[in-house]
Structure formats: C-alpha cells, structure tokens
Structure 1
C-alpha cells in the first residue's frame, strides 16, 4: 500500500476557488472534446451524510462515472490487459472544502484494486500536519509531496508558455509571475491537500501499476492547477450563474457529439465526455455540474 499526500499551494483565496475550479474544469473539457477516451456519467445527485475526515457528517453531491479507457493507458497495459480491465469506475462525494473519490474495476480486478483520493482545501501554506486525521500507523506510511505549480519540470512536448506561472502575470489582479520563494510570500493563498491511498494486489504488476498511478496523478494535479492560475483573467469576477451557463453550454456540446439526450443535470441519465479532459479535475463543489470529476484524486 502507498499513502502519498500532495500539498499544492495556490495564489488564490478560498472564496475564489470554487469558481476558479469550475471554470477551469469546463474550459479543459471544451479544449479536449475531440480527444481521449469516453466517460459515462451514470449518476449525479445531491446526497446527505457524507463522512468528513474528522468524523462529522455533511451534505454534498455524488457523481458516479465509468471510464472506458483506450488512449490514456501506457503501452504495456494495452498489450497485457483484457478489455474488462480498461473499464474504471469512479465514485466521488463532493462537499467543499472536502471531496472523496474512490476508483474500482468491478468487471475484472474486483477487490484487487483499492484507490482513494481525499482532497481538503485550507487557507494556509501547506502547514497543516494532519488535516486528513490519519492514524499513527497511517502517518508512519505517509509520504508528503510539495507540488510547486511554477517549479515542476514539464516535458518539452507538453510545455505551453501561456500556461507557465513563472512568466504569467494577471492584468486583472496583478498576481504573478510566480518566481523565487513565492509560496511563502504570495497573497492571497490557500493549499489543496490531496491524500492518495492505493493498494494493488497483483503479483508481478503491483510496483509497476502503483508507480504509474503516482506519476499520473502528479501530472494531472500539476497541469490542472497551472492552467487554473494562468487562466485567472478569464474566471476572475465571474459569478456562479456565469459558470453555470458555461457548464450547461458545454454539456449540450458534449451531449450532441455523443448523440445523447440533454438536460442531464441532477438526473441519473448517462452522458459521454472525453476522459483526458475529465481526469484533469481533482474535485468539485456542489454548485458544479457532473462535468468535473474529483481527482479528488
């Protein structure tokens, strides 16, 4: 089993985060509608009794997605894996500032795969020592990873200057570029704490799969939050109604491409979305539509 806690400091406020997250989610989906694997959103509904890490209960939103993976898996997996293995179920419980996502493969792996992502946002600089309320045994296993959205190494083929926090400056807020010791001096500031817990029980493949999952999640987190910051002039000042309208328009586009019925908000109907776009989104607030998975990851 691996337990990794990513701490991602962001130069935005807790109040701004829900709009920033929803906008970035929808913008990424619009970018990638023609790319990636399909996702079936099989259920999206309000829920109560979500258990928080401290044991308290709250209400929020539940989304169940089924990923039909093809292009978003490594070559060795395509060669070795039966088609049933490339169907991934994702169940997400959203209750900002907390979200929990559980992944499973009931068609093939069943109990052999256990992957969970818990995300908590806090108005600090990554200084909360045990925000996920881990046990002493879990703390002993936990590895803390500070992810610097400006300092992370980006492969040349994936680098985009317009999404580089080291050179971007917001004209509307004056924030950026993020250079030097920015994580200790920037204001406003908040931190996303993302706890990844994984146990893959398959002799001979365990280490390879767990390593791939760790690397994939780190890449997803980095790319998404770099975009969130560098798109600040696009989402800054928007209202929930503005974002809602954008999400509805994007859902109509995706339904049209997939030849699926529209008007799915809050329903149990299914809609297909590109997996590459959807997997860039770690968590959501209840105001968001079922277009943004958690990576709560």
Structure 2
C-alpha cells in the first residue's frame, strides 16, 4: 500500500468552499465526459453519520479506457470503469474507489477542510502570525521552489517548528509520516498540458465578485482568507510485478486531478460565489442529468467515439497464472484434455465474458 497526504491551500473559507466544491466537481465531471469516457452518477441521496451528522452519499462510475497507459490496457476490458462511493459530511469526506475486474485494487481518500494555511494549528490565522512558519532556503516558495518543481514535478515540503510538527495530526487514528506529506501549490505547481487553460491560471486570475487575486509567489503566507484541504490517499494494488508501478501511476493521476480541481474551484469563483446550498444542489441535479445523458449517448453509439464491448472476448494472459489468481481472475488450463479448446491452443488463457 502506498499512502500520501496532500495539502492544498486556496484563498477561500471552508464555508465558501462547501458551495465551490459541489459546483466544481459537477462542472469538471461534465467537461471531462466525452468520447465514451467520463462520469455516470448512479445514486445521490441524503445520509446520516452517527458522528458527523447529516450529509450526502453518492455512487458513480468513472469510465477511463482512453486515459490508461498502453501497458495497462493490455489486461483490462475495452470498456473499463472504477466505482466511486463518496460520503460527504462536510467538512469531512470519505471517498472509496473499487473495480470489480481488479478486486485487488482499492483507493481510499479521507479529507478534512480547515481554515488555515496547511499548518493544522486549528486556530484562525492572522497575517502577523504566519511568519512563525519557517522554510528551508532551498525550498523557499518565492525562489528555488519553482525551479525545483519544473525539474522534479514535486511539491515542496515546509520545515515546521517542532511544536507545530508535533501537532500535525489531521486524521484521528494516527499522524501521517512527515515524508509522506506533500504540499500542492495551485499557483506554481505544474499541471499536465492537456489540463492547462489560460483562464484558470491563477497568476492572471482576478475575481470581480470578491476582489481576490491574482496570486503571487508566497501567497500562502500573506493571503486572507485561506483554507486547506487535507487529503490522505491510500492506494493498494497487491499484484506481484505490478504493485509499485500501478500505485505510483494512480498517485500521479490523483495528484494531477486534485491540483486541477482546486485551481478550477478558485478560478470559477465568480460563477458560484453567492449561491445557496439549495441552488448549487439544483445545479448539481441538472448537470448530473446532462452528464448521464451524454454518457448514455456515447455508450449507445450515437456519440462519434462510441465503443462497444463484444459479448464474449478472449485474450492471451499478460501475467502468469499465479498473479492472475491474486487478482481474483479465474484461469483455465487449456492443455487439459477435458477443455474444449485443448486441440487448438497450447498456452494458458484468461477468459472475459459479459452478457448484453
């Protein structure tokens, strides 16, 4: 299992982001749903947690076939999706991802939102109090950090005072090891070219409604209001020979999605700021219906890039039988005389079947 905690600050309050998050997630999902890939909402309903109170539970299918690397496409179905289940008890959320085809794959994301700049001191931050955070010169946000990011594409880690580091426990069970904490900067951290949009570049962003922006180097130390999304991501794919590569691939993509999503929430502030919870829920309902219809059209063949999975497909296994069994995939020894395929093939095979 590979676990990392991402901390992403935004020039918003936790109260504002309750609306902004809902708006951003639904607009982003709608924009990314095309060509057979995207998000299909299965359910979205009220729920109650014994500790966190009332909230919302959602279940979605996220179709990813065209976004997979070539080495991964070799052993997944033509139409591939993961199931997302999310429990939103704002300001605390839990999101889990599973895949019926890959039972050994699991992803869990726990999120806390707090009104601070990533220090987790649980106190309202005042401008004059921020300098108590000290940064190593080689990771200073205003100088070497940007160059370091361009070379390594990694976020910088601040060096916190000992008294603060001892209190950096966002999640209740145990603190995240310091080496596993990554700060993502929505201003300076690189995003993939395919996601970059000039009007979402926060160095040029100015909000007409709130008067905020643009962001400048060192903005986390002198911007008010400010909040932080603390996201602990646990990813597991326990398949020999594929575990490390797959878990790193998943974390890279989660990192990109988190960075782009939080940038968009800020860049789109003039679209959602001032909306009530009822209004944004109505927007959510409308956009989910449109997104589901878009996905339905693509999958049924009316879309230009629709793809249809055959009712029965057969492919040569790309891993050994032992690894396939660990993945929960049944195999057939076709060298067995009782096998109907024994006279034709002489190598182990993996069978996928589905009925339409």
Q: Report the TM-score range of the alignment, normalised by the length of the smaller protein.
A: 0.7 to 0.9
Residue 98 of structure 2, aligned match among 101, 104, 107: 104
The alignment of Structure 1 onto Structure 2 pairs a total of residues equal to 250
- What does the per-residue CA deviation read over 1:102-132, in whole Å, with 9 as the maximum and x for residues that have no partner? 1122x3332x223110011011111121111
Q: Max radius of gyration: which structure?
A: 2
Report the Cα offset of residue 20 of structure 1. Answer: 1.1
Distance 1:158 1:211 in 2: 20
- What does the per-residue CA deviation read over 1:115-172, in whole Å, with 9 as the maximum and x for residues that have no partner? 1100110111111211112436xx4486000000001113445422111011211122
Report the Cα offset of residue 85 of structure 1. Answer: 9.4
1:245 aligns with 2:239: no
Distance 2:114 2:257 in 1: 20
Pairing of 1:193-272 with structure 2 (within 5 A)? 193-258=230-295
Indicate the SS of the match to 1:16.
helix
Q: Runs of 5+ in structure 1 lacking a partner?
A: 51-55, 261-297
Aligned counterpart, 1:165: 202
- What does the per-residue CA deviation read over 1:31-74, in whole Å, with 9 as the maximum and x for residues that have no partner? 33434515443333322236xxxxx4533222222334311212
- What does the per-residue CA deviation read over 1:215-262, in whole Å, with 9 as the maximum and x for residues that have no partner? 0011001111111111112222222233233223323423443559xx
Indicate if the aligned counterparts of 1:2 and 1:141 stay in contact, CA closer than 8 A.
no
Indicate if the aligned counterparts of 1:84 and 1:108 stay in contact, CA closer than 8 A.
no
Distance 1:23 1:48 in 2: 22
Residue 170 of structure 2, aligned match among 112, 121, 131: 131
- What does the per-residue CA deviation read over 1:154-203, in whole Å, with 9 as the maximum and x for residues that have no partner? 34454221110112111221211111210011111110000001221111
Q: 1:29 and 1:201, CA in 2 relative to 1: closer, same or farther beyond 3 A?
A: closer
Aligned counterpart, 2:325: none
Report the Cα offset of residue 90 of structure 1. Answer: 1.7
How big is the alpha-carbon RMSD for the aligned residues of Structure 1 and Structure 2?
Answer: 2.4
Report the Cα offset of residue 6 of structure 1. Answer: 0.4
Q: TM-score scaled by structure 2? A: 0.64
Q: 1:33 and 1:68, CA in 2 relative to 1: closer, same or farther beyond 3 A?
A: closer
Aligned counterpart, 1:192: 229
Distance 1:12 1:250 in 2: 24
Q: TM-score scaled by structure 1? A: 0.76
Indicate if the aligned counterparts of 1:63 and 1:91 stay in contact, CA closer than 8 A.
yes
Indicate if the aligned counterparts of 1:8 and 1:149 stay in contact, CA closer than 8 A.
yes
Indicate the SS of the match to 1:83.
coil
Indicate the SS of the match to 2:14.
coil
Q: 1:203 and 1:181, CA in 2 relative to 1: closer, same or farther beyond 3 A?
A: same
Aligned counterpart, 1:275: none
Indicate if the aligned counterparts of 1:65 and 1:91 stay in contact, CA closer than 8 A.
yes
Q: 1:70 and 1:245, CA in 2 relative to 1: closer, same or farther beyond 3 A?
A: same
Aligned counterpart, 1:7: 7
Larger RCO of the pair (alpha carbons < 8 Å, separation 6+): 1
Q: 1:35 and 1:57, CA in 2 relative to 1: closer, same or farther beyond 3 A?
A: same
Residue 59 of structure 1, aligned match among 51, 54, 59: 54
Q: Runs of 5+ in structure 2 lacking a partner?
A: 121-167, 298-356
